[in-house]
């Protein structure tokens, strides 16, 4: 497919790009494309949600002996769900970036309400 029938971007028509694993552009949208911009916008939006989650943890949590702020998942869920319905996904992203710590792979409402989430 040389031309995407769903795209109005004529710049992409003439480019026949073959990328291979290891190439820095492999799996990435063409530079300057709308797809690239949408990805950047989404990344920025999620970053803001992670920041907001950390602020919520700081304001609702309790400072422990080690100086870190902690909150239970149940308490965080009840507070944050009024802001966003993506609590667990944002928590996983925050953990991936080393901002929070909690035990387990996934947190489930009800079952994991007593799990401690620590702001690092």
41-96 confidence digits (pLDDT tens): 999 999 999 999 999 999 999 998 999 999 999 999 988 877 777 888 999 999 99
CA-wise closest residue to 72 among 102, 27, 98: 102
| CATH class name, domain 34-119 | mainly alpha
53 contacts 69 by C-beta, under 8 angstroms: no
Q: What is the pLDDT of residue 30?
A: 85
Q: pLDDT tens for residues 15-46?
A: 556 677 888 888 888 888 899 999 999 999 99
Cβ neighbours of residue 30 closer than 8 Å, sequence gap 6 or more: 12, 15, 17, 36
Q: What is the pLDDT of residue 93?
A: 93
Provide the whole-model pTM. 0.70
Distance CA 26, CA 84 (A): 33
Q: What is the pLDDT of residue 9?
A: 63
Q: Please measure the distance between the N-terminal and C-terminal CA atoms of the chain and give it in whole angstroms.
A: 48
């Amino acid at each position: 497919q040389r031309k995407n029938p769903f795209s109005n971007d004529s710049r992409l028509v003439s480019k026949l790009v073959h990328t291979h694993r290891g190439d820095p552009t492999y799996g990435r949208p063409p530079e300057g494309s709308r797809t690239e911009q949408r990805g950047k916008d989404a990344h920025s939006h999620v970053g803001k949600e992670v920041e907001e989650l950390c602020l919520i943890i700081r304001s609702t949590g309790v400072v422990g002996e080690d100086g870190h702020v902690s909150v239970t998942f149940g308490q965080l869920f009840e507070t944050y769900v009024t802001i966003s319905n993506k609590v667990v996904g944002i928590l996983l992203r925050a953990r991936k970036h080393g901002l929070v710590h909690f035990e387990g792979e996934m947190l489930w409402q009800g079952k994991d309400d007593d799990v401690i989430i620590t702001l690092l």
